[in-house]
Structure formats: structure tokens, C-alpha cells
Amino acid sequence: MAANVALLSASSPSTSASSILRRRPRPRRSACPRRAASRLSVVAAMSDDPIKEWILTEGKATQITGTSSIGGGCINAAQRYDTDAGSFFVKTNRRIGPAMFEGEALGLKAMYDTKSIRVPLPYKVGSLPTGGSFIIMEYIQFGRSRGDQVTLSRNPFRSKKKSALGRKLAEMHKAAKSDKGYGFYVENTIGSTPQINTWTADWIEFYSKHRLGYQLKLISQRFGDSAIYEKGQQLIEKMHPLFDGAVIEPCLLHGDLWSGNISADTNGDPVILDPACYCM
């Protein structure tokens, strides 16, 4: 995982809050005990909150002017942090460790590097002192017409926006061809469900084993539905003749592209969020 985390342009997710504090110079002794005690209490408070610590050090802010809750869905909580250096978008999960957000950050950075469709740039992933994890990323102000990207309508303005989304996605796919086959650098999650991304040379093998096969396995384990499992296996066995002769070139996909993960910025340009990236 360490090698893959280097994809992030900001501080590595594996960098702990304690290691950041260790790199900071020791404060000089003050002639005023109260002032020295005040500084120590600020440092202690920062060490208890790695989100504020990153924002006030590597985030280049000198003060946080406000925070506000943003709907984060049924899995994560989300907040906007306003500072004198701009705003940051922060997601937290009090039950799940940083691996889930590390996978999201790597996917966001991979899409961001294509310089095609707009995605929020991830800055930092880490663990919360009380358990769970967080991810800090670029805050993008959405326009009023978030649903216009996918809403079926005869309105030509909305049709133009859907066309822009399609073109930008095509640009991303063309810009991020995979020379490693089908899969991704790390396992990630689609929602809260694990997604297996082991690199595989053959498309049908990857899809039948790590997508259909894995989902069928989860269904069987959770619900004991042998009928669905058997029908799924029959479909997997027929995939080779169904795609015989098809030429499929692996490229980067968002992996969880539905209306809830599509928006538009204040300029009306499409934005995609919350990926479960892999190459296929």
C-alpha cells in the first residue's frame, strides 16, 4: 500500500498525526509561564484532532473560521471547514479504519491526474484518535442544477450538460489506459461493500471472478440463496461465448457512477464524486 499512496500529491495517508508533530520544532521556553502554557494547550488540542492539525499546518490555514455539516449519506458524515486559506471538505467514519478512504483517495487522484473531468483533489487520509478514519479533500461549490447531469429532459440546456458529462468521461477513459490489465492498485469499496481489484490479464476472468462471482458469494453467505447463486454461475459459464471476438481495452473507470455521485460546479461543468475506481 505504501508505494501506491505516493500517488497523492499532498501528505501521504500513511503519515500519522504524531509523526507530523514530531517534525515540528520544539517551542522555546517563554518568560511568561501563562503564554507558554497556552501554546502547549493549543498543541495538545491539535494533537487530539488530526483534521484541524492538518488544516492548520499543511493546509496552510492560520485559523478555522467555521464548520458546517453536509449530508454525507448513510455511511459517512461530511463537514465543510471554512478557513482563511479557503474551504476544505472532510468525511469521517467512526467505525471503519482508513483503508476505505485510502482507496477513495487513490481513485480520486487517478481520475484527477487525467486532467479531464473535474473531481475533488484528495489531501489527507488518517485515523481518528477515538476510532475510525477521515479524509480531507478539496471543497467544490456545487451549482443549483446538480440533478441536471442525469435528469432526462427535453430542455436543450440540460441535454447540453449531459453531453458535457459524456464527453468528459470519454476523455478520462482515453487518458487513463491500463498497461497492467484489469483491476486497480488497491482493494476498495462500493458503498461499504468490499471490492476486489486483483490485477487480471483477461477481462472475462476479472469480471466473472471479482465482480459477478464475488457478489454471488456474498449473497450466498448472507442469505443462503442457492438458486440465485446457481443461476449466476450459469451466466458466468456463458460469458466467453457471449463476448467471443470482442476487443476490450482496459481503462480507468469511476466504478460507482450513479446520479448521487454526479454533480456540477458553479460554472455548470460536471463533477464526479465518491469513486470505487478500477480499470476495465
- Would you call 127 helix, strand, or coil by DSSP? strand
What is the Cα 163 distance to its own chain's centre?
A: 24
At residue 209, what are phi and psi to the nearest 5 degrees? -90, -50
Q: Is 256 a catalytic residue?
A: yes
At residue 69, what are phi and psi to the nearest 5 degrees? -80, 140
- Would you call 129 helix, strand, or coil by DSSP? coil
Candidate list 113, 179, 202, 256, residue with the active-site label: 256
The β-bridge relationship of strands 193-195 and 252-253 is unpaired
DSSP E strands, 16-165: 64-70, 77-83, 86-93, 122-127, 133-138
C-alpha cell at 97: 479504519
DSSP 8-state secondary structure symbol assigned to residue 28: P
Q: If you write DSSP's letter for every residue of 215-278 in order, what string do you get?
A: HHHHHHHHH--HHHHHHHHHHHHTHHHHTTT-----BEE-S--SGGGEEEBTTS-EEE-S---E
C-alpha cell at 168: 468528459
Secondary element (H or E) of residue 262: strand 262-264
Catalytic residues: 256
